[in-house]
Structure 1
Amino acid sequence: MVDRTNSAGDDDGIRTFAFPADRSISGVGMQVGPMGAGRTWHSEALLGRVHRIDFHVVLVFAAGPVRHMVDFTEYEATAGDVLWIRPGQVHRFTTTGEYRGTVLTMQPGFLPRATVEDTGLYRYDLPPLLRPDPPRLAALEASLAQLRREYEDTDTLPPGLHTAVLRHSLTAFLLRLAHLAAGSAEAAGRPGDTTFTLFRDAVEAGFATNHSVSAYADALGYSRRTLVRAVRAATGETPKAFIDKRVVLEAKRLLAHTDLPIGRVGAAVGFPDAANFSKFFHQHTETTPAAFRAELR
C-alpha cells in the first residue's frame, strides 16, 4: 500500500492508503498473493493502527482466529472465512492474530461499470465477514487460484490480452463472492430489491442532511407505517435507528480520519449546532466525540 498524502493524514496520524499500482505485475489494477508474516502485503499500514483505504481488499483466511476491525466493528475470522473491505472503510489489523491465506486487492475503475453493478462492489450494507460452506469455499478458492495463475502469467499473452483475461477472471471470482455476500444477507433477514433497499439507498444518499423518517417515506411514496414494517423486517430496527446508525458511522469515520473540528464534523452529518451533535453522539456511543477521537490516536 502507498500513503496518499493529505493534510488530515499529516495532522492526525490516520493515513489513507491508495492502491499500490507500482507494485502490481505489469501495472494492472489488481494484485493477488499470499498474506503472512514477513511479507509486505499490508506495507506501511502498521498493525494496530486505524487507517483507511481507497480500494477493495478481500482476505481469504487459511488460519485463525484473527480479530479485524472494519468501520469500528470487530470481526473474528478463522480458516475458511472471507473478509471483504470496501473503498473508504476505516479498518485496523490486529497485533495478536496471525494473518494466513490469500489477499486480493483491486483498484476502483479496473472493471467496467456493468460488472461493478452486477458484483455489488459498493454494497456497503452487506456484511464484511463471510463464512461460506465447504462447497462454496472450494469453488471460491478454485476461482481465486485461477485468478492468481492468470495474474502471475505474463509470458503467454501480450499485455493487452493479459489485462483482458485478468478482468474476466476477476469478474468470475467477484460474481461468486457477491453471490455469497447476498446469500449471507438473506440468511440474516436482509431481502433483495424491496422497500427496505430503496430506503437504504435513499439514506445512503441523504443521511448527511435528512434524518427524518417521514421525509424518506414521503420521498419514496410509502406510508410511515409501511416503511417501519419493511425496515424492521429487514434489520430488526426502526427506520430512525437505521438512519442514526449511518450518521454515527460517518461521524466516526470523520473523527478518525480527519482533523476537522468537532463542530464541523457535526455539520457534515446534519448537526449545525455542535452541542446537539455531541449530545447525539454520546447518546449513541456512550462517549464524546473528543474522547472517541483521542482513543484512536
Structure 2
Amino acid sequence: MKTIALAVPDWPGHRAGQHSDVRLTALDGYQTERSYSIASAPEGDCLSVTVERLDDGEVSPYLVDELREGDELEFRGPIGGHFVWDNDFGGPLFLVAGGSGLVPLRSMLRHHRAIGSRLPVRVLCSARSLELLIYRDELMEMAARDLIDVSITLTREAPSSWRGYRGRIDPALLSTTGWAAKEEPLTYICADRICRDGSGRLGGLGPRRTTDPDRTLRRDRGVTTMRPLDGNAMAGVMHDLFGRDMTTMGYKCTSCGRTGVVAEMVVYMSGPGTVARCRDCDAVLLMLTERHGMYCIDAPGMPQTVLPPA
C-alpha cells in the first residue's frame, strides 16, 4: 500500500467517499485507466489516494514503484454520488471496511473531524494482519476521541498479545460492534467479502439506511476479473461516452421491477467487456464492449432510464 499526495490544478472539490480516475499512456499510445477512492477529506490541503499494489495490475505497480515527485498524471474526478457522506445525512454512523475498502471511509472520518461533527461513529475494519492494516496509527488516534469507536478483526495472523477480534466480518460481529436497530444507524460498507447468515442475507445491521453489502469501491484490477463490483466500476468509461457522471442514472429492471441507480448494479468486468446485472434478480441490465477503439452498449434489461443532470 502506498498513499500518494497529488496537486491537482483547478480541482473543483469532492465529497467524502467519492473516487477519481487515473489514466496512464505508454510511449506507443496504449492507454489504461483505473479508479481509486479519494483518501483525503474535502477540507485537505492536497488530494490523496491510497494504492494497493497488484502484481498483475497495469496501473498500480507504476504508481507504487515508479512514480516520483514532480511526475504528471492524467487525472479525472471527482466521480460518484451514491457512496458519499455529508454531515446533513445524520447518524449515528457505522463504517465497515475490509482491506483497502477503508480508503473512502478514511475520507469520511477525516471530514467528520475537520467539520467538528458531533455525530457518533463506530468503525469495524478487517485486515489479514495488524501490519497490513492501513492507516493503523491514524485509526488508533481517532479511537482516542470520545465520538469514534474503532473495532479491528484480524483474519490470518495476530500477535500473541492480541485482544481484538479474529476472523472475517460476519453478522454476529456486525451485531456486536455496530449499533442497535433502534438507533437507526447510517451504515457504509466497503469490503470484498462478508460472511452471510444461512438465508444468504447479511444480518446484524438493523432495518434502515444500509448501503448494499457487496459494494467493492474502486479497487485496482488487472485486465480480467470476475469479482463482482458495483456500478461505480463503469464510471470512467461511461463518463467518456456520455460526458457526465452516469453512476446516478436511474433505471427500472424489466425482469423484477427493481428501481435504482447505476451505482447499485452488480458489475463483472472481463477482457472482452463489462456486464451489469440486477442486484435482486441477476438479470442482465447492460453490456458494454470495446473493439478497435469503438464501444458498443446494449441495455436489454433497462429500457426505462432517468439521466442525471449534465
When the two structures are superposed, what TM-score results if normalisation uses the length of structure 2? 0.29
Higher helix share: 1
Q: Which structure is richer in relative contact order (CA contacts within 8 A, separation 6 or more)?
A: 1
Please say which structure displays the higher CA radius of gyration: 1
